[in-house]
Amino acid sequence: MSSFFRRVRRLLSAPEPVDVDGLFTDHRRRYEQTWVIIRAFYAMHFFWVHRALRNWSEWLEADHAIPIWPLSVFSQIPFPQLVTSVILLFTGSVVLAVVFPHRRLARAMLCAGWLLFGALDNSFGKIDHGFHAWIYVCLVLLLLPNQPPFRIRRSRIKIQEHLLVFATARACFLACYTISGFWKLRQGVLQWIDGEIGWLHPQAMSYLAANRLEQTASETILGPWVIESPLLSGLGTYAGLYVELFALLIVFRPRLLRWWGLSLIGLHSGAQLVMHIPFTSNVMLAGLILVAAPAGRGRASLMETIAQLPLICGTSRLVRMLATRFKSA
Amino acid sequence: MVLFLVGSSLYLGWTKKRDIFPLFSWSLFTKVENTRVDFAVLITHLDGRALEAPRDFMDCRGLFVGAGSIRAYYTIQDLAAAILSRQPKRARDLRRLFEEQYLKGHSGTVRYRVIARRFDPIDKWRTGEYHQVAVSEHTKRAQNTEKKSANTGSSEHSPGSAP
């Protein structure tokens, strides 16, 4: 099984020069950097605590909520008491995770706090998806070694384990985009077969923007431009689809991680300016675990980075392979 | 974990379940609706007085706190679906949620109509025109709410809309 995964990884990675000099020193450096990122990740939870505190009084008065799982399990408790308990539990679990990020119990408490707080926030008629990626990352970080940093620094295996868990957290975050891109591509093909405007049509973004602006009766800065201009609409449609669809592949091409982080932030900023859809939570997460976190080893020129882009890399590989076969024939 | 996440999302997407919190199909803005069919709320009376022309609830930003909120929009969709599928308990819960969470901000009596509408999004964005069919009508009083009448299936057109 592991050889199968190794082969898959090799297939999805871009060709990189093998450089074993200073590999373990580099791992150690990356461990230190990712540990800071993880601590920052937990500290950023105070932003959500602040949001919970802001909504507290409003939620106390809301006796009309329809609690979703796992909050629905406690439906026999009066809603105001449930609200207070969840907010206190979430705040407490954030404090614990920030103070003891190396303790698995503290991280597990935060996961439980997130599930309850997320359910509470989404118990008012519609489930939003801003918290999902944060919850996934928290769940993956549960797998970090249950040891303080000074012990982990002494062990190469523990450092590797730590880096692998961090890469998995990134993969889970990016997988959400790839799945989203997959559904868009599938539906785009189905709508194209039916002769409708779908994700393969350059006007898709015009329709999506008009739909959204009509849903919420809102106005945006770039919305009218995208609705009226096929060029802008086409650019938004295809760029969005490309960035989403190949997001998971980037885990295997560390040089592109920062670029992809910035692209995803650009995607959400565009969605905000065109359709009034804020995805602040994912922008924060992309900035932290993709843009700010360590990426590939060494420096690469712009052309080398572009050569690793999905589709470009695959095409150049195919051309090289065909050329080699042609020569040998 | 990545495989579990991908697998669960594909399962939820294929079975059209969409959400089992915190799992999600991640099917977001997947279908480009060339013709949209949805539900809306029109405010017909304020403080016992009929408005000159019914106003789309989402457009009443100065009057109601939930106007323009996407959560309010989805609550309206669920409410209308519950009314049409004759689920009185769910409809009652959702109406209470809508009125107390989103239709607040105006202290007087509010009468509103739930409608089903059909439109081309770009045409509606340009001209504001759409076809509509009334689903039900309700009144929200200052303290308690009372359902006034329900007329499912009666058809009418918005002012200036094409038939």
pLDDT tens-digit series, residues B88-124:
999 999 999 999 888 888 878 999 999 999 999 999 9
d(CA A86, CA A63): 15
Q: Select from A45, A18, A44, A37 the least CA-distant residue to A261.
A: A37
A136-155 b/e (C-beta count within 10 Å ≥ 16 → b): bbbbbbebbbebebeebbee
Q: Is A72 on the interface with B (CB under 8 A)?
A: no
Mutation target for B interface from A79, A124, A170: give the one with most B CBs within 10 A.
A124
The rounded distance, in Å, linking the Cα atoms of B162 and B130 is 7
Residue of B nearest to A134 (CA): B22
Residue to test with chain A: of B19, B23, B34, most A Cβ within 10 A: B34
Could you give the ipTM of this predicted complex? 0.87
Chain A residues inside the 8 Å CB shell of B75 = 124-126
Per residue in A102-148, pLDDT (tens digit) is 999 999 999 999 999 999 999 987 889 999 999 999 999 999 999 99
Contacts of A139 in chain B (CB under 8 A): 1
Rg, C-alpha atoms of chain B = 18
Residue with tokens 């920062």: A258
- With an 8 Å Cβ cutoff, is A167 touching chain B? no
How far is B13 from B31, CA to CA, in rounded Å? 12
Measured between beta carbons, the chain A residues lying within 8 angstroms of B98 are 125
- Among the partner-chain residues B5, B67, B69, the one whose CB lies closest to the CB of A175 is B5
- In three-state secondary structure terms, A82 is helix
Question: How far separated are the first and last CA of chain A, in Å rounded?
Answer: 35
Residue A311, SS3 per DSSP: coil
> Cβ contacts (< 8 Å) between A122 and chain B: which residues?
21
Q: What is the DSSP letter of A67?
A: P
Quick one: which of A250, A239, A240, A238 has its CA closest to A174? A250
Q: Which of A272, A279, A276, A126 lies closest to A216 in space, CA to CA?
A: A276
Q: Give the amino acid at A13.
A: S
d(C-alpha B103, C-alpha B95), whole Å:
10
A270 Cβ under 8 Å from any chain B Cβ: no
**Whole-angstrom distance, CA of residue A214 vs CA of residue A236:** 19
Share of chain B above pLDDT 70, in %: 87
B27 pLDDT band (50/70/90 cuts)? very high
**Which residue does chain A place closest to B28, by CA atoms?**
A180
Tell me what pLDDT residue A240 has.
Answer: 95
CB-based contact A219:A209 (threshold 8 Å): no
Residue of A nearest to B127 (CA): A214
| B61: alpha, beta or left? (left if phi > 0; alpha if psi -120 to 50) | alpha
Chain A nearest-CA residue for B129: A214
pLDDT at B57 over 90: yes
Q: What are phi and psi of B111, to 5 degrees?
A: -110, 135
Contacts of B122 in chain A (CB under 8 A): 206-207, 210, 227
Q: How far apart are CA B77 and CA A112, in angstroms?
A: 31
Helix, strand, coil percentages (3-state) for chain B, rounded to 5, are: 35, 30, 35
Low-confidence stretches of chain A (pLDDT < 70) are 1, 17-21, 63, 296-298
Residue A186 neighbours by CB under 8 Å, 6+ apart: B30
Q: How much is the pLDDT for B163?
A: 34
CA B65/CA B48 separation, integer angstroms: 20
Q: Is the pLDDT of residue B160 over 60?
A: no
Note the pLDDT of residue A316.
Answer: 79
Residue B146 has what pLDDT?
Answer: 44
| Tokens at A3, concatenated | 């050889």
Q: Give the minimum alpha-carbon distance from A215 to chain B in angstroms, rounded to a whole number.
A: 7
Exposure b/e, A214-236, CB count within 10 A at least 16 = b? bbbbbebebbebbbeeeebbbeb
Q: How far is B139 from chain A (nearest CA, A)?
A: 17
One-letter identity of residue A37: I
Measured between CA atoms, the residue of chain B closest to residue A176 is: B26
Task: Give the number of C-alpha atoms closer than 13 A to the C-alpha of residue B79, restricted to the C-beta side.
Answer: 28
Q: How far is B141 from chain A (nearest CA, A)?
A: 16
Cβ count near A105 (within 10 Å): 12
Q: Determine, for residues B122 and A207 on separate chains, whether the beta-carbon distance falls below 8 Å.
A: yes
What residues of chain B lie within 8 A of the CB of A175, using their CB? 2, 5-6, 9
Distance from CA of A71 to the nearest CA of B (A): 11
Contact between B133 and B115 (Cβ < 8 Å): yes
Helix axes B2-14, A156-193, angle to 10 degrees: 20
CB distance from A66 to chain B under 8 Å? yes
Please tell me the predicted confidence (pLDDT) of residue B122.
94
- In the structure, what pLDDT confidence band is assigned to residue B42 with cuts at 50, 70 and 90? very high
How far from chain centre, in Å, is Cα A228?
31
- The C-alpha of A160 sits at a distance from chain B's nearest C-alpha, in angstroms, of 18
In our burial notation (b when 16+ CB lie closer than 10 A, e otherwise), range A277-314 reads: bebebbbbbbbbbbbebbbbbeebeeeebeebbbeebe
Q: Which chain A residues have a beta carbon less than 8 Å from that of B30?
A: 180, 183-184, 186-187, 199
Cα separation, A135 vs A266, whole angstroms: 23
Average pLDDT of every residue of chain B = 85
β partners of residue B43:
B55, B112
Give the whole-number percent of chain B exceeding pLDDT 90. 63
